[in-house]
Amino acid sequence: MDKSFWDGKRVLITGHTGFKGGWMSVWLHRVGARLFGISNGRVSNPDFYTACGVSSLYEKEYFEDVRDLVAMRASVSEARPDILIHMAAQPIVLYGMTNPAETFAVNVVGTANVLEAARAAPSLKSIVNVTTDKVYRNLEWVWPYREGDELGGKDPYSSSKSCADICARSFYRSYFQDLGVGMANVRGGNVIGGGDWARDRLVPDFFRALEVGAPITIRNPRSIRPWQHVLEPVSGYLKLAERLYGDPAKYSGDWNFGPRAQDCKPVEWIISYLRANAERKIDVFVEPASNDKEARLLKLDSSKAREGLDWESRLPIETALSYCLDWYVGYSNGRALKVTAAQIEEFNAR
């Protein structure tokens, strides 16, 4: 991270109360960015936002719904961002299965509203639209997906993110390109890290169970996912935001930020590692009728980010999981922000 670049920049983050938004906020605050946030409130209780006092890092927070275009126009216009990171979303696959219309509304219409509002922001130079590895049409094969591969998420969450990706590209080609504003869709993997308490995600489910000493039930134990520590994609998004700012035409487009191939592990491997290294042991059960609507095999090819941005995944999966274990110990001792800052520094030094 180039501190001289970020110092004093006005950065608007949608989804700033969330898990990724929280880590990004702490990092950007440390390099002197002026922060503005749009979110519709806390995502869980407890949450990273409260544990790390994220609110105090913000110059202004707008608690609005991205489905409300009038509110998006007012907030973006007041925030006057130089850089926009759009992350607000309904991000849970299982929630999307039972609430498809809401998921499409938040993820697709919400993206269109934020970008529509951004068209009128005079100082805006760089937009990063956060989608996911799940945007690709999953062929259940061993090869990792590349940026040019066909989109086509199957379940409502994945599909809504494919749509958001296409929507953002349309805004770029129709408006931002001519305005000289850089815009990229960024696709990360399955993110892990301290401070995530979302429901129906493996690592949060594990720490919730660990806290009370209850057993954990996992689904699809042999599913392989591109696990990565939250600092990995966040470092990629921020590096790209910098480059888009300086050379919008060169860096606009789609970018994968995935883990190394050897870090894509099955669900059962992740749980075994956490269980073996946690302070106390809990029982693990496998759900008998696993959900076959979720993709079983998903890998991302990050060659473009390696070549074009000199971005590289830095943490082996074992280290990423140790960061998670350390974070929750720190949190339970009232040191969440200290551990977060220390992990950012350690990550940066690699």
Ligand X SMILES: NC(=O)c1ccc[n+]([C@@H]2O[C@H](COP(=O)([O-])OP(=O)(O)OC[C@H]3O[C@@H](n4cnc5c(N)ncnc54)[C@H](O)[C@@H]3O)[C@@H](O)[C@H]2O)c1
State the residues that interact with ligand X by CB under 6 A: 15-21, 39-41, 43, 65-67, 87-91, 106, 110, 130, 132, 188, 190-191, 198
Choose between 179 and 224: whose C-beta lies nearer to ligand X. Answer: 224
Instruction: Give the Cα separation of 258 and 256 in Å (integer).
Output: 6
Minimum Å gap between C-beta 114 and ligand X is 9
Q: Mapping DSSP to helix (H, G, I), strand (E, B) and coil, where does residue 94 land?
A: helix
Q: Mapping DSSP to helix (H, G, I), strand (E, B) and coil, where does residue 14 land?
A: strand
Burial of 100 (C-beta count, 10 Å sphere; 0-12/13-18/19+)? middle
Minimum Å gap between C-beta 86 and ligand X is 8
Instruction: Give the Cα separation of 6 and 306 in Å (integer).
Output: 22
Minimum Å gap between C-beta 186 and ligand X is 9
Choose between 43 and 244: whose C-beta lies nearer to ligand X. Answer: 43
Kindly state the helix (H) or strand (E) to which residue 205 belongs, with its residue range.
helix 202-212
Sign of the CA dihedral running 313, 318, 324, 329: negative
Choose between 40 and 185: whose C-beta lies nearer to ligand X. Answer: 40
- Name the residue with the smallest CB distance to ligand X: 18
Choose between 106 and 183: whose C-beta lies nearer to ligand X. Answer: 106
Minimum Å gap between C-beta 191 and ligand X is 4
The whole-angstrom distance between residue 177's C-alpha and the CA centroid of its chain comes to 25
Choose between 86 and 314: whose C-beta lies nearer to ligand X. Answer: 86
Q: Mapping DSSP to helix (H, G, I), strand (E, B) and coil, where does residue 113 land?
A: helix
Minimum Å gap between C-beta 190 and ligand X is 5
